Each structure stands twice: as C-alpha cells, then as structure tokens.
Amino acid sequence: MTDLLASIDSSAAARRLQGVVRETPLVPFPSGDPRVELRLKLECLQEAGAFKARGAWNQVSQLTPEERARGVVATSSGNHARALAWAAGRAGVRCTVFMPQDAYPNKVQACRDEGAEVVLCPTREAAEAACRERVAAGAVLVHPYDALRTIEGAGTVGLEVARQWPEVEVVVSPVGGGGLISGTSIALHRALGGRVRVVGVEPAGAPKMTLALERGAPVTLATITTQVQGLCPLNVGGLNLEACRRFVERVVTLDDAPILDAQRRLVREADLTVEPAGAAATALVLTGGLPAAWLEGRSAADPLRVVALVSGGNPDPAQLAALRG
C-alpha cells in the first residue's frame, strides 16, 4: 500500500489537466475569530461543478484504445457521475453511471445532458451491485475515490493551494469516500512538507473514515442518517484510508445542522452556489471546531492561516432557492 501511494504523481496529473480544468480561486471569508484567517478554495466553480472533474479527466485521458472501446462506468450520487459524464463526453467515450434514486434530480439530468446513460437504482447498495455487473461484462470502472489516478487528479487541488498561499498552515477538507483529502494531503506534504496540518470533516450520520481509522480497515456502514449527499458513500477506500492514516492530522464529525448553516452563509454572504457537502469544511471553522491548542498565542496580527475546500456547487435547485429567499 505504501509503495502504491508513493507512485501517486499529482504534478504529472496537473500537466494532463492544464487547459482542461480550471485553476479555482482562493478567496477570503470571515472566520468569526480574529485569530483565524480563512480562505476558501472554490472548487464549486470547477468544470462540472466540483473537484471531481480533476480525477475524472486524469482517468479518462489515460485510457488505452481498447479501454475506450469498452466504455466507462461508475457508481455515484451525483458529482462523480456528472464529472465522469463530462470527461467521457469530451473524450468521445461511452459512459454509464449508476445512481441511487434519491440523487438530486438536477444531478441526474446533468449526467444525461453530458451524454451519459443513467441507471437509477433503489439504493446505493443496488447501484454498486449493478455497476459491478457491468464491469464483469467488460466495462472499465472509474472509481470515484479508491483509485490511484482519481487520487492523483484530486491532489492537484493541494498543489494549487500550495502555490496560491504557501504560508497556509491548516487545510480542512470534506470527506466522502476520501479521494479529495487523500490527494490533497499527499500533494501538500510533498509541496510544503509536514508543517501543513490537514483536517477531514464528515457527517456524523455517515462516519466512514472515523470508523475506518478506529478499526484500521474500511468499514461498510449499515445505516446512513445524514442528508448531506455527496459525503455518504457506504465506505472509504483502502488507498484513502492509508493516505489519511499517514498524512491527515485528524478527521472529525459534524451534525447536519452546522453544515447546512455554513452552506446558507456561503450562499447569502459570498453569493456562491454551493451544495451542502461543499460547505462541510467551512462549517468546521465557523463553528470553532479547530483545536484550541492550535490557536494558542495567535492574534489578528499573527492569525492561523486556514484553507477550507469548498468541494462542490451542485445543490438541489429548490433547496438553493429557499436559502436565497
């Protein structure tokens, strides 16, 4: 596993992505604490509306001619599905995505608009099973998080943060399956060394990484109670767990309420189009969730420099309209 992580090269991925995905901005946002200087990495402005475009293109751009002919498939509640549909459409590759029927309707339609075949399944478990059947029949799986090329692509977020704000001290990332935090933590460690602390945030109603770190192996959740779509796959990947074990300072859980409140603030105060999952990292900072020890001796003159990754901007339109009032 360690040797596999060593083979991840986000710098090479960045070269593949150049001119295809966007270098997203890093913008200031009030943290509510003068001791914390907060900047937001706006992956909600990325192609296909989320950081997932990075891993999807890094995968699709390296398919062999034989793999391209077989077509690509994936299971996703939305953002990876849309990103893969976008990447496959750009490359002229057939794409099928298996989605749970409770996925946001706008995300389902976005996948179809990109040219993908969408197969709706009763549950996430059923979607995973249907996808496995298609892979067994010959299709190429593009995994949303537990794959080296996916992690490499996600890691370009970390490379951009390191270049845009080399003085950064803490990076906070949402955790779904673990692709974003895996790639970002590895890339930051290589670019800036071990001085940058990486913190993960996942919903209390889907504590996949928290349980995996406690048990030392991926855990399949029996139930998911969070309403924060995009952060609730059934488990994390083995590669993602190993990366978090080695390069992530800690992973914490938050209830849905502060995540939704952070989304409301980003929409109303910063005029951003952000889905709940995209607000999770910001929520940790706004609720004062950073360890008190990290703030000792800090002041407005010498604040803790923190980046929150705003991972996606594909909310349910009705929910977004309600927030905008």
CA proximity to 212, closest of 234, 184, 186, 180: 234
- Are 155 and 8 a contacting pair, CB within 8 Å? yes
% of residues, the chain, pLDDT over 90: 91
Q: How far is CA 250 from CA 170, 171, 174, 264, 290, in A?
A: 11, 11, 12, 26, 10
% of residues, the chain, pLDDT over 70: 99
Q: What is the DSSP string of 176-204?
A: SSSHHHHHHHHHHHHHHGGGSEEEEEEET
Average pLDDT over residues 276-291: 98
Q: What is the dihedral of CA 149, 155, 159, 164, to 10 degrees?
A: 130
The predicted structure's pLDDT at residue 104: 86
Q: 3 pLDDT band (50/70/90 cuts)?
A: confident
pLDDT tens, position by position, 6-34: 999 999 999 999 999 999 999 999 999 99
Domains 2-50+147-324 and 53-141 share a fold: yes
- Residue 93 is given by DSSP the state -
Q: 229 pLDDT band (50/70/90 cuts)?
A: confident
| CATH code 3.40.50.450 for 53-141 | no
The predicted structure's pLDDT at residue 13: 98
Average pLDDT over residues 126-137: 96
The reply to whether the predicted model has a pTM over 0.85 is: yes
The predicted structure's pLDDT at residue 4: 80
pLDDT tens, position by position, 109-125: 999 999 999 999 999 89
User: Would you state the structure tokens that stand for residue 5, as one six-digit string?
Assistant: 């992580």
CATH of domain 2-50+147-324: 3.40.50.1100
Q: Say if residue 170's pLDDT is above 70.
A: yes
- Are 233 and 98 a contacting pair, CB within 8 Å? no
Q: Say if residue 1's pLDDT is above 70.
A: no
pLDDT tens, position by position, 86-112: 999 999 999 999 999 988 898 999 999
Task: State the average pLDDT for the chain.
Answer: 96
Q: 218 pLDDT band (50/70/90 cuts)?
A: very high
Average pLDDT over residues 262-266: 98
Domain borders along the chain are 2-50+147-324, 53-141
Q: 2 pLDDT band (50/70/90 cuts)?
A: low
